[in-house]
Amino acid sequence: MELQKKLKKIMLPALKIAIGSSAAIWIAESLSLQYASSAGIIALLTIASTKWETMRLSLYRLITFCITVILTFLLFHLLPWDWATYGLFLLFTVIYSTWIGWRVTISVNAVIATHFLTVGNFSLNFVLNEFLLVLIGISIAILINLFYNYKGQLREVLRGMRFTETQLQNVLREVSAYLSETESYPGVWQDIGALESQIQEFIHEAYEYSGNLFPTHSHYYVDYLEMRLSQCRILQSLHAQMRKIRTMPEQAHLISEYILYLTEYIVEMNIPQKQLDRLHQISQDMEQEPMPQTREEFEGRAILYHILMDLEEFLHAKQRFVETMDPAVKKIYWGN
């Protein structure tokens, strides 16, 4: 399954690039443009992983094309147009492109400049020839990215979200088992470390999905997965505290029962206010307990309080996600 998914991720972009580049060259040749093959290169370099990125890059290409024409025209009339002048052109191009954050446009502009260098012609017809090469390349790139498997990628994003929730529930069950001193699986903490890496991949997929949708609320999935990644890191902190416990305090069973209750609410559409209220009540109940009599009891009780604080932060991460959600987005995804 993973191999099939990986091959699909490789094959689809490869097909888009192959078809787009070939189509761009065919159109340029049909119009009898000089350097028609450059239209295919421009399409190849402009086809990005997302629709928005492709459109943004296309706009950058148009703007920097104008700069390239002006810069090469000035250098052509001020200096002998040879390899040294071309090097000077690249120097200026790299400097300004890097300065404004458009370094990705350098390659296409360098190709256009070589055409001027080779032909030595700044007539309106040749400038139009070069403009059409750029226009064909970026138009094909935009058109190719309109054909996209949105439903398939959305299924992958949702699968990642459900997998993350299930893994977090498993970790919480292990924490509960540890605190109740029942049999547990110690490898779960290696699993949570691996889960962090997996969530990073899920976030990347969510970014790609959102980048292919025009509505701004498409970042919902990215925000959700980043919230779960934050919760993962909180559980790592909780684990570090648990390892410090030498003798399990009697009050640990209260927290164990609460964590077991909490696992049912590690789902997408849950506002954790009730879980926070119950956590605060447990904290208050523990404050009414008799004071610890030994150093070990005191240290164990202190660690339990720290675990409660980590659990509170775990829930606050979800609460902040809900509270900062745009009402329109919440209505779309949560129906209220």
Q: Tell me the pLDDT tens digit for each residue of 217-263.
A: 568 899 999 999 999 999 888 877 777 776 677 778 888 899 999 99
Query: What gap in Å lies between CA 262 and CA 243, rounded to an integer?
Result: 21
Q: Are 211 and 51 in contact (CB under 8 A)?
A: yes
* pLDDT tops 80 at residue 191: no
How high is the pLDDT of residue 307?
87
Closest residue by Cα to residue 188 from 176, 163, 170, 203 = 170
How high is the pLDDT of residue 188?
67
Range list for CATH 1.20.120.940 in the chain? 150-334
For the purposes of burial, counting CB atoms within 10 Å of the CB of 65, is it exposed (0-12), middle (13-18) or buried (19 or more)? buried
Specify the DSSP class assigned to residue 218: G
Specify the DSSP class assigned to residue 325: S
Mean pLDDT over each residue of the chain, to the nearest integer: 85
> Higher-confidence residue: 114 or 50?
114
How high is the pLDDT of residue 85?
83
* pLDDT tops 90 at residue 132: yes
> Higher-confidence residue: 185 or 101?
101
> Higher-confidence residue: 37 or 146?
37
* pLDDT tops 90 at residue 162: yes
- Secondary structure (DSSP) of 105-146: GHHHHHHHHHHHHHH----HHHHHHHHHHHHHHHHHHHHHTT
- Confidence band, pLDDT 50/70/90 cuts, at residue 2: low
Region 278-297 average pLDDT: 75
* pLDDT tops 70 at residue 194: yes
What angle do helix axes 51-78 and 106-119 make, rounded to 10 degrees?
30
Region 157-169 average pLDDT: 92
Region 2-12 average pLDDT: 70
CATH annotation of 150-334: 1.20.120.940
293 residue type, one letter:
Q
Which contacts of 146-149 are long-range, i.e. CB under 8 A and separated by 24 or more positions? 146/51, 147/16, 148/51, 148/212, 149/12
Q: Which H helix or E strand runs over 85?
A: helix 83-99
**Phi, psi angles (nearest 5°) of residue 16:** -60, -45
